[in-house]
Structure 1
Amino acid sequence: MRCLGGGGGGGGRSRRAGHPPPPASSSAPVPAPSGSGEENEECDGFDRINGENRQRRRDLSRLSECCLPTTSAAASSAASPTINLSGEYMLAVNTSSYKEIWYKIHRHRSEGGEGDSEEVEASDSAETPSSAGLISRVLDPDRASVEETLRGVTPDHLTRLVDDYFQSSEHSSRYCISLRRAVGRAYSLYAPIEELIDLISSADSRRARLTDAQCDRAFDILLQFDRLGNPFPPPSGDTRSFQLMRGRFADLKKQLELRLLKARQRRRLLRRSAQASGACLIISTVSLAVTGVFLATHALVVLMAGPSFLLGGCLPTRDSPARPRRRTRRDMAQLDAASRGAYALNTDLDTIERLVARLHANVESDRELVRLGLESGGRDQQQHLIVEVARQLRRNLYTFLRQLEDLEEHICLFLAAVNRARSLLLRQIQQRRPPP
């Protein structure tokens, strides 16, 4: 006979003590089933004397086992607070602000805004008429609205910092638009490569060699690819621009957090002042009641003079903390939103910098591969190298096109975040303007 479900002596004692059975993965050794007569007699005697209590403990043990979380439940509860980055990213690229930026950029391109080769190759610092028109179309609020608002505000440290942020965000937006043009040039650069890949794929499917005309066409495609150059700026010359932009956004975030801390301290001070006003009101009321008891003969004088004297400095007036508390809460919400926006812009710039560096490295790697095919010897060796180069470019093309799409999406996300942060800061400045 097994005691309490066939467990060993230690298991029976633990259940008799009212504890749930040890888990199967416990490191404690499992004793062999008891088979001696003394142990069986002891268990039988215990069952006869305490059968009812044992049944109650067994039911409680089952309840405890049911209440304990299983491994799958614990795993699901641990995974529940995890953020779904893919889902959040899909939500971001489906917002109306993102779609509006995407539409404005691509409409500008379809209208011929990027058709002029001289304008495309212009430096980022030189603002062409087309880029100026696109900037004024993309940025909301634009430069004119910002300058008009800042003219009516008393200049201080925060105003100068915000003005610097508006200029930095406009410069960053112009730089991102130039990167969008680089994406367009990259698509144009790799379009003949797709033709070369189709040419090699058709020859592979027929298991035939390239003809002389096909080999000459493939050579011209590779030569054109090598001559056009890399559409993306090198990381060495691009890092300083990104560091400068990120540094300005980091300074803005630090100043906004400092202003937010001061606003929170002011709110606590106003709350304590309101509590003190309430306590003063209670004390004044009690004082009036006590005074009315002891000065019954002068009750009329006390009721007329007492409130104006005692409550005059305690009740909230127009200059008391009642109204500033609402204004402080509103300022705190806007400062917090602006600080989060500055942090998001800094993070987006870091992501864009990494994507640009990766795309530049991929183009340089493909150019080295193309030069290898161009520096071949005779016709047979040249044809063999061109075929191998085309096959390797075919392996790299899908990843490269996906990276181009990622960069284009992050540029639109950055421009949408810039507009949100500019709107919040401009609203904050407008509320600080003195009434006319």
Structure 2
Amino acid sequence: MSKRASSFGWLVQTDSLPSSTNNASNPSPTFNLSRELAHAFQTPSYHDIRSLVHVVDPPAHLPIQPDINDRTELLLSQVLQPNNECVQEALSHAKPTTLTHLVSTYFQHSESATRLCLNLYQSVHSARHLYTPLFDLFHILPGDSHAIDESLCNLAFDLFLKLDTFENPFSSPESHSFRETQQCFSQLKHKLDTRLRKSRSRVRLIHHATAGSALIPCCCSCFGCCCFCLSCTSLPLLFAGPLCSPYLPHSFKKKELTNISQLNAAAKGTFVLNKDLDTIDRLVSRLHTGIEYDKLFIRLGLERGRDVYSVQEILKQLRKTHLNLTHQLKDLEDHICLWFTNVNKARSLLLQEIHLSRI
């Protein structure tokens, strides 16, 4: 499972996200990647998502529905939680600040990426539908040492003609829309980290200022007699600022800490989801290349006509690749469902921080 358990897999340890971004980017050297990824596929949340998605799958014997956009939106409304309505309701109570804009952008990007994953999920089913007749043919073919007869040759050749008309269900790596989505997540992560550093710096300044001003009452007791000699009008100027400083920054510090909690949740979610996209993108690229490789062999077979020997050689080659293709489709389907689980966790954690900030 070393290749399929890609860079994002170690992030999914339980039904919760990593406790900190730093820890997420520096996993323990004793961390067992394969074990943790296998555990992620066994969590209740993953199986809930898997069951939900399979309920709305089209029947296997029917062609893929033509209205992909409507189907995607239907799936999105059932899979993505919290949904857009809940997010907009929560954000409607927030002031239009830089933080609000970043949080809103995060929710938009995660929703757009989920829509792309749903389209890929449909592509997995399109690929299976495309290859099903070929896989069925493999079950009735004789062993490698036996030549096929003329009827099987014609059946295979007719199937090659049909397969040659289908387009590759997966986009090429150069034109894949995930690249643009990944770039959006990377840019958002940079903005979140910058804003997070500013908030932490402000909290540190407030902490130091508060700690320093706490020494003022002690100093005042040492020269209390001198202070008595000062005029009453000078006392407010001398003591008002220092004595109030431990109290005035409290609300400001509380606000910055609240901002940090939201920024942390958004930054961690962005990091995890971007790693998920890296994995899915690599799987899609491999599937696209594999299917193009199969289509090349099919075209070679068609060019040679209904020659029994040529058709048999092409079938042998396709037979060698079909198990790998089946495993890759299952791999991609698993990781897409894992994306649904992770994106819901990340969105829920951030929405929870938004609700807590209003308490």
TM-score normalised to the size of structure 1?
0.65
The list of structure 1 runs, each at least 4 consecutive aligned residues, that deviate by more than 6 angstroms after superposition, is 309-312
Question: What does residue 359 of structure 1 align with?
Answer: 287
Question: What does residue 219 of structure 1 align with?
Answer: 157
Question: Which residue, out of 298, 316, 319, partners 1:394?
Answer: 319
1:230 pairs with 2:168: yes
Question: What does residue 89 of structure 1 align with?
Answer: 37
Following the alignment from structure 1 to structure 2, what is the Cα–Cα distance between the partners of residues 324 and 159? 17
1:264 touches 1:332 (CA, 8 Å); kept in 2? yes
Question: What does residue 119 of structure 1 align with?
Answer: 66
2:171 touches 2:288 (CA, 8 Å); kept in 1? yes
Q: Give SS of 2:66's match.
A: helix
Question: What does residue 244 of structure 1 align with?
Answer: 180
Quote how far apart the aligned CAs of 1:181 are: 0.6
1:340 pairs with 2:281: no
Deviates more, 1:312-321 or 1:423-432: 312-321
CA spacing shift, 1:423–1:345, aligned 2, 3 Å: same
1:373 pairs with 2:301: yes
Following the alignment from structure 2 to structure 1, what is the Cα–Cα distance between the partners of residues 44 and 254? 31
Quote how far apart the aligned CAs of 1:408 are: 1.4
2:116 touches 2:178 (CA, 8 Å); kept in 1? no
Which residue type is aligned with residue 191 of structure 1?
Answer: T
Quote how far apart the aligned CAs of 1:142 are: 0.5
Larger Rg: 1
Q: How many residues align?
A: 324
CA spacing shift, 1:103–1:164, aligned 2, 3 Å: same
2:41 touches 2:47 (CA, 8 Å); kept in 1? yes
Structure 2 gaps, min length 5: 1-27, 229-234
Which is bigger in relative contact order (C-alpha 8 A, separation at least 6)? 2
CA spacing shift, 1:105–1:430, aligned 2, 3 Å: same
Quote how far apart the aligned CAs of 1:286 are: 5.2
Which residue type is aligned with residue 209 of structure 1?
Answer: A
1:197 touches 1:394 (CA, 8 Å); kept in 2? yes
Structure 1 gaps, min length 5: 1-79, 296-305
CA spacing shift, 1:229–1:320, aligned 2, 3 Å: closer
1:407 pairs with 2:332: yes
CA spacing shift, 1:318–1:180, aligned 2, 3 Å: same
What is the 5 A alignment of 1:267-282?
A: 267-282=203-218
Q: Deviations over 1:232-289 (max 9, x none)?
A: 1233332xx223212221222112112211221122122213322432243345556x
1:196 touches 1:390 (CA, 8 Å); kept in 2? no
TM-score normalised to the size of structure 2?
0.78
Q: Give SS of 2:304's match.
A: coil
Q: Deviations over 1:355-408 (max 9, x none)?
A: 212211111110111122223246xxx211222112111211122112112211
Following the alignment from structure 2 to structure 1, what is the Cα–Cα distance between the partners of residues 184 and 349? 17
CA spacing shift, 1:158–1:248, aligned 2, 3 Å: farther
**How high is the sequence identity, in percent, across the aligned residues?**
36
CA spacing shift, 1:242–1:140, aligned 2, 3 Å: same
Which residue type is aligned with residue 421 of structure 1?
Answer: A
What is the 5 A alignment of 1:90-239?
A: 90-109=38-57, 117-119=64-66, 122=68, 127-128=69-70, 130-200=71-141, 202-204=142-144, 207-238=145-176
Question: What does residue 20 of structure 2 align with?
Answer: none
1:284 touches 1:310 (CA, 8 Å); kept in 2? no
Quote how far apart the aligned CAs of 1:163 are: 2.3
